[in-house]
Structure 1
């Protein structure tokens, strides 16, 4: 197994399947001279990264034994230190809040929230030894009313809140925590349309709106994955600055990038009414209002 050269920085990235943000981050960190430890549930999909000299390991962030095994391998590989941990592994979840299946919801929380928490807890010792950095990949969905994405929004909101507290808890040990508020970015995972409305859903009236929403992130100001990765890695590798100068020169506590990121950040200064109004109309909920009004009119005519 290839390892880092003496003095070389190391980064462990979760969810590195080709076509996603994790894979692009691996390529960008590697290009910047950082030794990359790429992980995925099935390490066979990481063969191209291994050929480039990166370390590839099996890792299921929802399985405690898998995390423990990965930690042991990383500790041996790096001599007990880890400079950067990127919690990227994630799961999409697009369903109206009134149509969710709780077992399905639990699976999403296991990956998007509990997996992040488990990784931070497990690898804290290696990060503290290196006075390193944690980068948690959140989403604009953490603060945006992403219609039909209540579960996904809830998981990313949880990651953002968890990360704020984690930042303060690890600050005395010299470990930095960055939350990546990620906008629309090209990804194979986000392109999947396997979810459907159940029979009897109150949104069957506007089924076409739901189906369009399934791939919204891939068709609205979507940023190229490599471009996003380049910006995130550039931020991660910046030198440390005092708190008062950090926002301008150092590694950001909150990193905003991807489609809509700047606009959403700007909108937060005006109150939630603005984001509510924009998302309501953008997704097409005004059409549902019209459909319901027509249904009421027809009832009165009978």
Structure 2
């Protein structure tokens, strides 16, 4: 079943149940939009199809998959797309000194290049609708999220890319919103359970690293549906002059999820406050103490 005449459409990547994409699909659907939910395996989208959503296969790391999805969406929507939500993402928790570059490339393929490819491929449909792009970034883009250097870098790239994309698409009436997501209940932390390699500098505090793997699911974590409700509410606001957007219109930036208010506030104070807070929160000060004690013991020998 396709959209009804005059019904707005939204395409969301990464809609596997339990994640942010799934919650956004349900929320947009409840607001009367026709949702096009996508995932690499459409079998996980059967319940969404039963609700009347369109479901399509999509792997954002494969150009042929993106093209096929684009062509199907163009037929479904008569050549227009009101909202594109780039949500598909991959976690990456490893110390910067322990990374495997092939693994890093896989993360960037999904988190960065997939976003870029989707925006480029669907730009014609978005321009035709004078639509909206929502790129799901993260507080990690601007915080020293310990053991998340690769993930931070990928989300930082999305933020920088989105800011420039916003200006490039402005003449065509296409808006770009960046969602700075804090800790939100999702499946992302459970998909790739990483381990420290033998000889890692951080074997001394292996327990700290292991706790960090699921940090986003255990620290001020916001319910997925609550995050989705707030994001959709702001995405569907009307247009306002630039200087009024943050208060009355559809904003360029959405801050939501656990820690989002504090991180936003810290951007006005200075990066030192985030550096200090996260260093102690992740407990790297304990490693510092261990290293000092090791050095002291060496001197005693």
TM over 0.5: yes
Question: Matched residues in 1 for 2:192 and 2:156: separation?
Answer: 23
Give 1:94 deviation, angstroms: 0.1
Question: Matched residues in 1 for 2:261 and 2:50: separation?
Answer: 37
Question: Matched residues in 2 for 1:114 and 1:192: separation?
Answer: 20
Question: Matched residues in 2 for 1:52 and 1:190: separation?
Answer: 28
In structure 1, the partner of 2:164 is 165
In structure 1, the partner of 2:2 is 3
Question: Matched residues in 1 for 2:241 and 2:299: separation?
Answer: 67
Residue ranges of structure 1 left out of the alignment (5+ in a row): none
In structure 2, the partner of 1:83 is 82
* 1:192-246 per-position Cα deviation (integer Å, ceiling 9, x unaligned): 4610000000000000000000000001000000000000000111111111221
SS in 2 for 1:270: coil
* 1:247-297 per-position Cα deviation (integer Å, ceiling 9, x unaligned): 111111010000000000001111111110001000011000011011111
SS in 2 for 1:94: coil
Q: Give runs of aligned pairs for residues 138-157 of structure 1, distance below 5 A.
A: 138-157=137-156
* 1:164-200 per-position Cα deviation (integer Å, ceiling 9, x unaligned): 0000000000000000000000012223461000000
SS in 1 for 2:245: helix
* 1:39-85 per-position Cα deviation (integer Å, ceiling 9, x unaligned): 00001100110000000000000000000000000000000000000
Question: Matched residues in 1 for 2:191 and 2:5: separation?
Answer: 42
Give the number of aligned pairs: 301
Question: Matched residues in 1 for 2:66 and 2:216: separation?
Answer: 30
Q: Displaced runs of 4+ in structure 1, greater than 2 A? A: none
Q: Is structure 2 residue 91 aligned with structure 1 residue 92?
A: yes
Structure-2-length-normalised TM-score: 0.99
Please say if residues 13 and 21 of structure 2, whose CA atoms lie closer than 8 Å, have aligned partners that are also in contact.
yes
TM-align CA RMSD:
0.7
Please say if residues 91 and 192 of structure 2, whose CA atoms lie closer than 8 Å, have aligned partners that are also in contact.
no
Question: Matched residues in 2 for 1:33 and 1:235: separation?
Answer: 15
More displaced stretch, 237-246 vs 124-133: 237-246
Question: Matched residues in 2 for 1:292 and 1:245: separation?
Answer: 51
